[in-house]
Amino acid sequence: MGRLLRGRAQVQAEVEELQEQSRALDQQIQEWEARIVTQTKVAMAPGFTLDQKVKIRRRIKILEDQLDRVTCHFDVQLVRNAALREELDLLRIERNRYLNVDRKLKKEMHLLRQMVSALIASSTSAYAVREEAKAKMGMLRERAEKEVAQSDTEAQILLRQVSHLEQLHRFLKLKNNERQPDPAILQEQEQRVEERNFAEFNFINEQNSEVHYLREEIQEQRVDVVRAEAEQIEAQSQSLRDLLEKLKADIQLLFTKAGCDSRIIDDLLGVRTHTRDRDVGLFLGIIEKRLVELLMVQAFLDTKNQASPADAALLVLGQSREEPAKKMDTLQPPDNLEDPPGFVATDSYPMSREELLQLVVKLVKLRELAQEQNRKELSEAMRKLDSARGSGTGSVLGSTRKASGMRGSILSHKSSKSRGPSSAGRVTFGIPSSGTGRVSRPDTFGHHSGTASGAHGSSLTSSVGHVTPSPGGSGGHQGSTSYVESSRGQESFGGDPERTTESELSGGPASSAPKDSSQGYD
């Protein structure tokens, strides 16, 4: 716009200059005419007059030519000025349109700013409400945790009081028992306890050796199964590798027979004697491109004899002369896209860059956890399959399962005793509880339902054939007296039969139990 205005001013200056020049020329012409008149009056000679007339005519002709040239230049400048005026009018119209559009856009921007400010205010209020709700939830959660901790503490206190009362009851019961006056009976009881302890010790050793042998056999079976599966997987891998090599050779042969351009392959991969696995897609893409070209040429040749070359080309492209060129519809993404796992929509406030980064990291971690969970499930399924295959060896232990339920046997001799700690050792057979922290085999020595101890609130179950020696003291004293009570046929008062379903054997050195029992009766 400024350039046009400067050009207009320059043209006007040139026009004014030309007008001044024309006026100056007119004035000079008048002066020369006056001179000619004066000279004609002065010069009376006819030759001089003719010569002056010729010079004047020549001068007039030259000046007329100059005037014509200046007039032409002036006309050209006028035409250019008119064109510039028209262009200036068009630019003025475009400027008005631009100002109208700019005014509309400013109005829309103002409305959008108002809308954004309203949304920011609403999101800020929603965020404040959300933070308040989160604070209330945190307070309620802390209060609930405190109440749970307080209830657990009260429960532990009550359990400790109950355990103390049970121990006191057992102590009073033991204190009220009368001493056996006959030493022969005491000696017979001590001998019977020693024999039972020795039998229990031998039984534990036999069971430990049998468990060790069964574990070795199960481990060998598992190794054989894993080796067989590995060989099968290797065979499958080798067959797939052979099939892949055959496919690569066929693809290379098809690439050569189709006459594909190998310069792209040479530029990308260089000259190679064999095809790599990751290059198969590139070869297939070039073969597909070559196949499309051959099909188009074949279709063109088929339709060439039936119509003109232009119609044939249109028919090959799927069009005709009457129909307009087809437009490809733009693909619209579906509206019902599923959110990825772990995605939480937060419409209450706009998310920042850090929050978006945290969300992406969380999604990646959730995806990795899902993959890890799938691998764990697969390994668990394989482990269950191995345990199912090795469950056939569990039938060997049928006699031990039956022996635990026989009347008067070694394993059932202590089934109705109390839940107090044992004297020199404790042996439990069955499924261990999760609170003991010992590794066990759930598929040996039958089903066992372990219960929590009434004295300490912890589980008494252990792994198969595992002997847990306990230090001497009050526990040893109580355990030794329990053997005496069981030999005498007295009923214990340590707990109900439902809690004493464990088959416990208090063994250890055979000499320790009689000494403790003799001390208990003193």
| pLDDT per position as a tens digit, 122-177 | 999 999 999 999 999 999 999 999 999 999 999 999 999 999 999 999 899 888 87
Tokens encoding 499: 């809690």
Between 57 and 508, the more confident residue is 57
C-alpha dihedral, 457 to 460 to 461 to 463, nearest 10° = 120
Chain Cα centroid distance, residue 89: 63
Question: Which residues does residue 427 pair with via DSSP β-bridges, in sequence order?
Answer: 505
Strands (E), 305-408: none
Confidence label for 112 from pLDDT (cuts 50, 70 and 90): very high
Between 24 and 9, the more confident residue is 24
Mean pLDDT, residues 51-76 taken together: 90
Burial of residue 106 (number of CB atoms within 10 Å: 0-12, 13-18, 19+) = exposed
* pLDDT winner (highest mean) among 48-62, 173-187, 370-384: 48-62
The pLDDT, as a whole number, for residue 161 is 95
Q: What is the reported pTM?
A: 0.27
| Beta carbons within 8 Å of 326's beta carbon, 6+ residues apart | 318, 319
Whether residue 245 has pLDDT greater than 60 = yes
Give the position of tokens 């067989």: 228
The pLDDT, as a whole number, for residue 349 is 57
Mean pLDDT, residues 383-401 taken together: 53
Confidence label for 513 from pLDDT (cuts 50, 70 and 90): very low
Mean pLDDT, residues 341-348 taken together: 53
Confidence label for 196 from pLDDT (cuts 50, 70 and 90): very high
